[in-house]
C-alpha cells in the first residue's frame, strides 16, 4: 500500500477554477477504502471495461449537493464527461477492485467492483469523507461524499475514510451552488484534476485568499474556524481586524483581487460575531466601527478592480448606517462619485462630490472634481443644444 495519505481534488465551476480540496485519508481505520480513493485520485489503475480507460476522478462531476448536509461525486461511469445522460448520472461507479468477472455480473447496475464496508463510524463533524453506497451493506465503489454539517443519521451506515484538511472554502462554494428540485447543481461542477498531494504542491484558491500575510490564519467561513471560542467577542474582533489588515497589506502590493477576498472575509467575521447591544454594547460598537472601515475598503478595492456597481453598493451600505463620522461619509461620497464618473453618470457623480464637500469642506481635491464634472455636464448640454439646432435647421 502506498505510503502517501493525502490527495487533492481541483474543482472548477462551468470551466472556471475555484480552488483545491486536500484530503487526509484514514489508512489505518479504512485501509481498503482509503487505497481505493487514493488510486482513483492518482489515476493509475486501468479499467477492465471495454474501453480500457484509466480509472480516475479527473473530469468527474458533483452530481448531488444538499446545503447543510453534503456534496457528492464519484460516478466515474456516467459523470466522467460533459454530455452524459442526466438520468443516468449518480447511478454508476467503479472501484479499483473491479475485475472482468465482476464487470459481466454488474452490467445492469453500472456499479462495478463493489466492496465491503469499513469503519462504519460517526459523522459528527463537517468535512468528513464518506463512501456512498447502493442503500445496502458492502456496496461501495467510487461514489463518495463530503459532509458540510454534522450528520448523525449516517452513523453506522457509511464507511468513514478521511477528512478535508485544506480548501474548506472550496467545499462551501460547491455547497452553496444553486441546485434544481432533485438537488442536482445547475452549474457544471467538476474535478478538473486530482492526484497525490504534498506540501510542495500548495493549495491554490481562486474563490478566496489563503495567504497568511499579516497573520491571517483563519478559515474563510467563520463557522469552520477553530482558532478561538465563538463566544469570545474580543477574540472574534481581533480575528476580523487581522483579516482586514491582511487585506490592506495585499492592497498596498496592488494585489487587488486577493485584497478583496480578505476584506470580504473580514466582513463575514464581523457579520457572524457582532453581539447585540444588550449583550455587549462595547464590543457591538467596536465591531460597527470596524464594519464601516471594511465597507470603505471594499468600495475602494472594487473600484480598482473596475467593478463599479459593486463598489457603489458598498459605499451606499456605509452611508445607510447610523452614526457614521463625517470623515467616513465624505470618503464614501467621494468613492461613490468616482464610480458614477467612470460610468458617465455625471449628475449622480456631481451630487456625491458636493455631498463630500459638505462633510469635508477643506478637501481641495473634491473641489477640483466638482469643477471637472460641472464642465463635463456643460459640454454635454452644449452638444445636445447643437444637435437639436441641426435637427430643426
Residues 197 and 228 in one domain: no
Q: Which of 153, 181, 201 is the last residue of a domain?
A: 201
Residue by residue, pLDDT tens for the chain (393 residues) are 445 599 999 999 999 999 999 999 999 999 999 999 999 999 999 887 666 688 999 999 999 999 999 999 999 988 766 655 566 777 889 999 988 665 555 555 678 899 999 999 999 999 999 999 988 999 999 999 999 999 999 999 999 999 999 999 999 999 999 999 999 999 999 999 999 999 999 999 998 988 899 999 999 999 999 999 989 999 999 999 999 999 999 999 999 999 999 999 999 999 999 999 999 999 999 999 999 999 999 999 999 999 999 999 999 999 999 999 999 999 999 999 999 999 999 999 999 999 999 999 999 999 999 999 999 999 988 877 777 766 665
Q: Is residue 1 part of a domain?
A: no
pLDDT confidence of residue 89: 79
Residue 365 lies in a domain: yes
Residue 80: count of CB within 10 angstroms of its CB: 21
- State which residues form the domain around 171: 6-201
151: cell is 450528520
> What is the predicted pLDDT for the residue at 200?
94
Question: For the chain, how many structural domains are there in total?
Answer: 2
Q: At what angle do helices 346-359 and 326-342 cross, to 10 degrees?
A: 160
Question: Can you give the pLDDT at residue 388?
Answer: 72
Note the pLDDT of residue 210.
Answer: 85
Domain check: are 179 and 220 in the same one?
no
Beta strands in 74-121 (DSSP E): 93-94, 111-112
Indicate whether 208 belongs to any domain: no
Whole-angstrom Cα distance, residue 390 to residue 174?
58
Indicate whether 183 and 231 sit together in one domain.
no
Indicate if 192 and 221 belong to the same structural domain.
no
Q: Are 189 and 226 within one domain?
A: no
Q: Are residues 21 and 125 in the same domain?
A: yes
Domain-embedded: residue 393: no
The answer to whether position 207 is within a domain reads no
Whether 219 and 357 share a structural domain = yes
* Structure confidence at residue 1 (pLDDT): 46
Answer whether residue 227 is part of any domain.
Answer: yes
Q: End of a domain among 167, 201, 235? A: 201
- Write b or e for each residue in 182-194: b if 16 or more Cβ atoms lie within 10 A of its Cβ, otherwise e: eeebebebbbbbb
**CATH of residue 46:** 2.40.100.10
With respect to residue 206, please indicate whether it lies within any of the assigned structural domains: no
Clarify whether residues 77 and 222 are in a common domain: no
Look at residue 381 in the predicted model and tell me its pLDDT: 84
- Residues with active-site annotation: 64, 69, 72, 133, 145, 154, 158
Give the span between the Cα atoms of 358 and 261, in whole angstroms: 32
Pairing of strands 54-55, 45-46: antiparallel
Which of 166, 131, 124 minimizes the C-alpha distance to 146? 131
For residues 196 and 217, state if they share a domain: no
221/195 same-domain check = no
> pLDDT value at position 156?
95
Q: Is residue 49 a contact partner of residue 30, using CB atoms and an 8 Å limit? A: no
Does 272 lie in the same domain as 148? no
Per-residue pLDDT at 2: 46
Residue 342 inside a domain? The answer is yes
Residues 193 and 218 in one domain: no
CATH at 373: 1.25.40.10
User: Kind and range of the H or E element at 193?
Assistant: strand 189-196
Query: Distance between the two ends of the chain, CA-based, in angstroms?
Result: 90
Of 294, 233, 225, the C-alpha closest to 264 is 294
Q: Tell me if 260 sits within 8 A of 310, measured CB to CB.
A: no
pTM recorded for the entire structure? 0.83
| Other Cβ atoms within 10 Å of 8 Cβ, number | 23
Q: What is the DSSP letter of 13?
A: E
Instruction: Show which of 160, 176, 201 is a domain's final residue.
Output: 201
CA atoms 145, 149, 150, 154: torsion sign: negative
Amino acid at each position: 500500500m502506498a505510503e502517501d495519505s493525502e490527495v487533492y481534488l481541483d474543482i472548477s465551476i462551468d470551466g472556471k477554477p475555484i480552488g483545491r480540496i486536500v484530503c487526509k485519508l484514514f489508512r489505518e481505520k479504512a485501509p481498503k477504502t482509503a487505497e481505493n480513493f487514493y488510486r482513483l485520485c492518482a489515476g493509475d489503475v486501468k479499467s477492465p471495461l471495454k474501453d480500457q480507460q484509466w480509472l480516475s476522478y479527473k473530469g468527474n462531476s458533483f452530481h448531488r449537493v444538499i446545503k447543510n448536509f453534503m456534496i457528492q461525486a464519484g460516478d466515474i461511469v456516467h459523470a466522467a464527461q460533459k454530455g452524459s445522460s442526466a438520468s443516468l448520472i449518480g447511478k454508476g461507479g467503479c472501484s479499483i477492485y473491479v475485475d472482468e468477472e465482476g464487470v459481466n455480473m454488474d452490467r445492469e447496475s453500472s456499479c462495478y467492483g463493489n466492496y465491503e464496508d469499513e469503519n462504519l463510524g460517526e459523522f459528527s463533524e463537517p468535512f468528513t469523507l464518506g463512501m456512498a453506497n447502493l442503500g445496502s451493506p458492502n456496496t461501495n465503489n467510487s461514489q463518495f461524499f463530503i459532509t458540510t454539517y454534522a450528520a448523525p443519521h449516517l452513523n453506522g451506515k457509511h464507511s468513514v475514510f478521511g477528512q478535508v484538511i485544506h480548501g474548506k472554502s472550496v467545499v462551501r462554494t460547491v455547497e452553496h451552488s444553486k441546485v434544481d428540485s432533485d438537488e442536482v447543481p445547475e452549474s457544471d461542477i467538476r474535478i478538473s484534476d486530482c492526484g497525490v498531494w504534498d506540501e510542495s504542491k500548495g493549495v491554490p484558491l481562486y474563490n478566496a485568499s489563503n495567504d497568511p500575510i499579516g497573520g491571517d490564519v483563519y478559515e474563510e467561513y467563520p463557522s469552520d474556524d477553530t482558532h478561538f471560542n465563538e463566544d469570545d467577542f474580543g477574540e472574534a474582533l481581533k480575528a476580523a481586524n487581522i483579516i482586514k489588515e491582511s487585506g490592506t497589506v495585499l492592497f498596498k502590493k496592488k494585489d487587488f483581487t486577493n485584497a478583496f477576498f480578505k476584506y470580504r472575509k473580514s466582513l463575514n467575521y464581523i457579520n457572524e460575531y457582532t453581539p447585540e447591544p444588550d449583550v455587549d454594547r462595547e464590543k457591538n460598537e467596536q465591531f460597527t466601527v470596524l464594519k464601516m472601515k471594511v465597507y470603505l475598503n471594499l468600495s475602494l478595492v472594487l473600484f480598482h478592480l473596475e467593478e463599479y456597481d459593486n463598489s457603489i453598493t458598498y459605499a451606499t451600505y456605509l452611508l445607510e448606517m447610523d452614526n457614521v463620522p463625517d470623515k467616513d461619509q465624505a470618503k464614501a461620497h467621494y468613492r461613490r462619485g468616482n464610480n458614477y464618473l467612470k460610468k458617465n453618470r455625471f449628475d449622480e457623480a456631481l451630487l456625491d462630490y458636493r455631498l463630500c464637500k459638505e462633510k469635508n469642506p477643506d478637501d481641495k481635491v473634491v473641489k477640483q472634481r466638482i469643477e471637472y464634472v460641472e464642465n463635463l455636464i456643460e459640454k454635454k448640454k452644449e452638444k445636445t443644444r447643437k444637435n437639436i439646432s441641426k435637427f430643426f435647421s
